Amino acid sequence: MTRLAWFLSFWTGFTSLSEEILWVRIVSFAADGTPQAFALVLTAFLGGIALGALSGKRLSEKGKATPGTAAWLLLIAGFQLMLLPAFIAAAHETPAATFWFLLLILFGSAVKGMLFPIVHHLGSPHGDTVGRSVSRTYFCNILGATTGPLFTGLFLLDRFSSGTNLQILGILCLIGAMLPLAHLVRTAKIRAALSPFFVGVLGLASFPYLQSSGSMLIHELATAGEGTIRVLIENRHGIVHSVAGLGRDDIVYGGNVYDGNTNIDLANNSNLIDRAYLLYGLHPEPRRVLVIGLSSGAWTRVVTAMPSVEKIDVVEINPGYIEMIRAYPQLSPLLDDPRIEIHIDDGRRWLRRSHEKFDLIVMNTTFHWRANITNLLSVEMMERVRESLAPKGIFAFNTTSSDDAFYTAAQAFPFAYRFRNFVYAAKHDFRDQVPSIKERLRKMRLDGQAVLTDNPATEQSLDSLAAVELIEPRKIVDRSRRPLVTITDQNMITEFRFGRWSGDASK
Q: What is the pLDDT of residue 196?
A: 78
307: Cβ contacts below 8 Å, ≥ 6 apart: 443, 444, 445
Strand ranges (E), 345-489: 358-363, 389-398, 415-419, 422-426, 445-446, 449-450
**502 close to 478: Cβ distance less than 8 angstroms:** no
Q: What is the pLDDT of residue 505?
A: 42
- For 474-477, the CB contacts below 8 A with 24+ separation are 476/403, 476/406, 476/407, 476/418, 477/407
**196 close to 181: Cβ distance less than 8 angstroms:** yes
Q: What is the pLDDT of residue 506?
A: 44
Which sign, positive or negative, has the C-alpha torsion 470, 475, 477, 481? negative
pTM metric for this prediction? 0.91
Q: What is the pLDDT of residue 127?
A: 52
**41 close to 27: Cβ distance less than 8 angstroms:** yes
400: Cβ contacts below 8 Å, ≥ 6 apart: 365, 366, 367, 368, 421
Q: What is the pLDDT of residue 504?
A: 62
SS (H, E, C) 173-186: HHHHCHHHHHHHHH
Beta-strand relationship, 358-363 and 415-419: unpaired
Give dist(CA 381, CA 272) in Å, integer. Answer: 25
Specify the CATH superfamily of domain 264-502: Vaccinia Virus protein VP39 (3.40.50.150)
Q: Which CATH number fits domain 2-220: 1.10.150.120, 2.70.50.60, 3.50.50.60, 1.20.1250.20?
A: 1.20.1250.20
pLDDT in tens, 99-158: 999 999 999 999 999 998 898 888 776 555 777 788 888 899 999 999 999 999 999 999
**396 close to 422: Cβ distance less than 8 angstroms:** yes
| Predicted confidence pLDDT, tens digits, the chain (507 residues) | 788 889 999 999 999 999 999 999 999 999 999 999 999 999 999 999 999 999 999 998 888 888 889 999 999 999 999 999 999 999 999 999 999 999 999 999 999 999 988 988 887 765 557 777 888 888 999 999 999 999 999 999 999 999 999 999 999 999 998 888 887 777 767 766 777 788 888 888 888 888 899 999 999 999 998 899 999 999 999 999 999 988 789 999 999 999 999 999 999 999 999 999 999 989 989 999 999 999 999 999 999 999 999 999 999 999 999 999 999 999 999 999 999 999 999 999 999 999 999 999 999 989 999 999 999 999 999 999 999 999 999 999 999 999 999 999 999 999 999 999 999 999 999 998 888 899 899 999 998 899 998 889 899 999 999 999 999 999 999 999 999 999 999 999 999 999 887 666 444
Q: What are phi and psi of 423, to 5 degrees?
A: -105, 135
